[in-house]
Chain A
Amino acid sequence: MPGDSLMVNNKAAAQNTYDAIVVGSGISGGWAAKELCEKGLKTLVLERGRNVVHIKDYGDTTKDPWELPHRNGHDRADREDSPIQSKCYAYDEVSAHFFVNDKENPYTQIKSFDWIRGYHVGGRSLMWGRQCYRWSDLDFGANARDGHGVDWPIRYADIERWYDYIEPFVGINGSAEGLPQLPDSKFMPAMEMNCLEKYVAEKINTGFTDGRRMIHGRSANHTQKVGDRGPCQYRDKCHQGCPFGGYFSSNSATLPAAMKTGNMTLRPYSIVLELLYDKDRKKASGVRILDAETGKTEEFYAKIVFLNASTLGTASILLNSVSDAFPNGFGNSSGQVGHNLMDHHYGVGANGEYDGFQDQYYYGRRPNGIYIPRFRNLNEKTKRSDYVRGFGYQGGAGRGRADYADGVGVQLKEQLTEPGNWGMGIGSWGECLPYFENKATLNKDKKDKWGLPTLDIDCEFKDNEKAMRKDMMNSAAEMLEKAGLKNISTYDSAPAPGFCIHEMGTARMGKDPRTSVLNKWNQVHESKNVFITDGACMASSACQNPSLTYMALTARAADYAVGELKKGNL
């Protein structure tokens, strides 16, 4: 019959139609899935890689060191197949399966850029560093104040209640300090400092007149149970996946919550090729995917789409979504998509030793440390003439056992059996300015194994970051000196952008559609039913670890999206 094919198509379209589509299942995609599902939307979550089921798929994380063939070291295959990923501190014999194969996932480094990725359900929320710090108006107002980038369309007052909302579910340990530049979260009890940390904190807190403080690190490790998750067992193997649910990940927390509603369809092996655009409605109609198992393409439709494919993944999808309406990529009339790429610059700091506390030690492996909040360029008194913005420090103290010494025999063995002197290190994380010329572009001549264009990444740290790094290093040494530590050594390992794994900024929020991609609700200016709430949305980088802010922005945008949907505006 003439109508047959149409009927089949309609049926197929109906089967592939949802209320919402979420692209990506990492830390922000997981939140989008949870919020949209809990608000009653039938939600399709598309993940380009395999499924990773909480606990079941965490591999060898419960094995003892001697049960691992290479005792957690790298073998030749790691270096050969994943030369970039295997440089990451979190890449080890157990966690290696959470990192992409670099050979199979090529990109071009126009300048050195280490792109660390996990293509599987949960994404990098499985291996993340878990540090959680709120932003303040020092950060949201930074672009407006010094003129770099474009002004954020939001301020702390817009996001505060969304931090409040997500934090009890994320499960963050820390201490309330009342610092204006680093607002307190809704905390679980902090993880204790050890003897030397307490001592150094006291020295820093009393030794400087600029108000600098050393406080407990704030991390998404659960010092108390969060529902059925945790508490933390102090194994310090978080990046391998936690069989105790001791830290927050999409796999342990948001995706199970979304699944529980009955509204989520999770589709692994679904590589999103492009957003589909309905130019009459001026809205996205859905997405086209490539099924990584069958090699076939398929379309899915929805009223709203959340893009949470990661900063560079999201930019890649937008740039690849070309239509008559969007010849330069979806929502890219501003020409800003892929630009303003930022990452924190880090890998600089100081270490020192301390002679005392020989009669003190500690029990357990704390997956967290200390934090020194930003103390530069807060006000006139702390203003620097050599750079704008600022930095913070993470660090910790311990009694490292020497695992190498001169000699052989009984004496060597005994020497390596006891803990050594106390030592402490602090390393700095610095803000990177948004530079238009730091960018990712599509390379249509270099295709991946799916035949998809790859990214050319052209990004570098510039003079402001370089000037800041000198202060980051010197201030680290100064603080350790002030605390009375000895044999202080400084370092600057000058990692390439990307290696801090805080890449962000490729589809920034802003007030003006001519200079930004997203509005204050994370909606694409030019297609209001597309929301981008991963790192791509960031208009500046601050110096705090960014995931907490992605999560808060996601919950906020999801709430707005559902409200608009109900009002018939989308």
Chain B
Amino acid sequence: MNRRDALARVALLLGGTVVGAEVFLTGCGAPDKKYGATVDLTPDDISFLDEVAETIIPATTTPGAKDAKVGEFMARIVKDCYSDEDQKIFLQGMGKLDAASKAKNGKSFLDSDATQRHDLLVDLDKEQKDYMSKKKDADPSHYFRMMKELTLWGYFTSEPGATKTLRYVAVPGRYEGCIPYKKGDKAWAT
């Protein structure tokens, strides 16, 4: 059983569906690799990733990715969990994202306004979706897929994401199999 199946099974045992197991796959399920050079992202890198994450999950009536410190989370996972190959793709991806910003908007990502950032990431999301659908299993993920998955994972498992945007109860204390639900009610975080 590979990690995807394992997650599928966990999801089943939790009574969930299999959707989204891949959030973990890029992060920590890649094939074994030797330890690589230590990858310490700089505070500037983390600020940059925070802005990318915030564009993916913006603050609304509930907190956004920056409030959830998703940039810091991404840096930690890339350093501690990613294989050498994935680390390389991720790090190069930060440069690629900025280059794509300059090509599209004539300025760096950080210098772009919210709409420009959003429109750029819409493009990159289409690009990664197209790449991911055509790639072979052994091929690495697209860098923007990594950033997006890490953002979603990091955000919805953060305290603001889990408790304010979703619902979280650490110790439920009981199980009720059928309770009323109305459209708009938040999902359980775990």
Contacts and interface: CB of A to CB of B under 8 A. Distances in A.
Given A80-B32, A398-B17, A235 B172 contact: yes
Given A66-B159, A358-B181, A408-B118, A364 B2 contact: no
Interface string B172-190: 1111111111111111111
Contacts of A400: 11, 16-20
Nearest to A243: B171
29 contacts: A70-B77, A76-B83, A80-B34, A80-B35, A192-B175, A198-B177, A235-B171, A235-B172, A351-B8, A353-B17, A361-B180, A362-B15, A362-B175, A364-B172, A365-B190, A367-B13, A396-B14, A403-B19, A403-B20, A404-B23, A408-B55, A409-B118, A410-B58, A418-B183, A418-B185, A419-B181, A420-B19, A495-B5, A499-B1
A356 to B, nearest CB: 12
A551 B17 CA distance: 33
Given A234-B172, A402-B20, A427 B12 contact: yes
Contacts of B121: 408-409
A71 interface: yes
Interface stretch (A11-19, A82-90, A373-381, A553-561): A82-90
B117 to A, nearest CB: 9
A63 B184 CA distance: 28
Nearest to B84: A76
Interface size class of A (residues with CB under 8 A): 35 or more
Given A71-B154, A87-B6, A194-B178, A366 B33 contact: no
Contacts of B165: 413, 417
A62 B171 CA distance: 9
Contacts of B23: 403-404
A214 to B, nearest CB: 14
Contacts of A295: none
B96 interface: no
Nearest to A361: B181
B176 A364 contact: yes
B90 interface: no
Interface in B151-173: 152-154, 156-159, 162, 165-166, 168-173
- The 6 A-B residue pairs with the shortest CB-CB distance, nearest first, are A398-B15, A400-B17, A403-B20, A364-B172, A192-B177, A423-B17
B187 A404 contact: no
B166 A417 contact: yes
Interface string B23-34: 110011100111
Interface in A23-66: 62, 64-66
A404 B174 contact: no
Nearest to B1: A495
Interface string A378-421: 00000000000000000111111111101111101110111110
Interface string A269-301: 000000000000000000000000000000000
Given A88-B6, A192-B176, A400-B19, 9 more contacts: A65-B162, A76-B81, A76-B82, A76-B83, A361-B178, A361-B179, A362-B178, A363-B175, A416-B156
A75 B24 CA distance: 11
B122 interface: yes
Interface size class of B (residues with CB under 8 A): 35 or more
Interface of B: 1-3, 5-20, 22-24, 27-29, 32-35, 55-58, 60, 73, 76-77, 80-83, 118, 121-122, 125, 129, 148-149, 152-154, 156-159, 162, 165-166, 168-190
A362 B80 contact: no
A395 B178 contact: no
Interface of A: 62, 64-66, 69-76, 78-80, 83, 87-89, 191-195, 197-198, 233-236, 347, 351, 353, 358-367, 369, 395-404, 406-410, 412-414, 416-420, 423, 425, 427, 491, 493, 495, 499
Contacts of A361: 178-181, 185
A406 B129 contact: yes
B187 A419 contact: yes
A393 to B, nearest CB: 11
Contacts of B6: 87-89
Contact of B5 (A358, A364, A399, A491): A491
Contacts of B183: 358, 418
A362 B179 contact: yes
Given A66-B162, A76-B35, A404 B176 contact: no
A370 to B, nearest CB: 10
Contact of A403 (B10, B12, B152): B152
A75 B5 contact: no
B56 A412 contact: yes
A256 to B, nearest CB: 23
B172 A363 contact: yes
Of A353, A419, A499, which is in contact with the most chain B CB atoms at under 10 Å from its CB? Answer: A419
A399 B176 contact: no
Contacts of B154: 71
Nearest to A65: B157
Contacts of A420: 17, 19
A402 B19 CA distance: 6
Of A64, A78, A410, which is in contact with the most chain B CB atoms at under 10 Å from its CB? Answer: A64
B15 to A, nearest CB: 3
Contact of A347 (B1, B14, B15, B152): B1
A75 B175 contact: no
A74 B125 contact: no
Of B17, B56, B180, which is in contact with the most chain A CB atoms at under 10 Å from its CB? Answer: B17
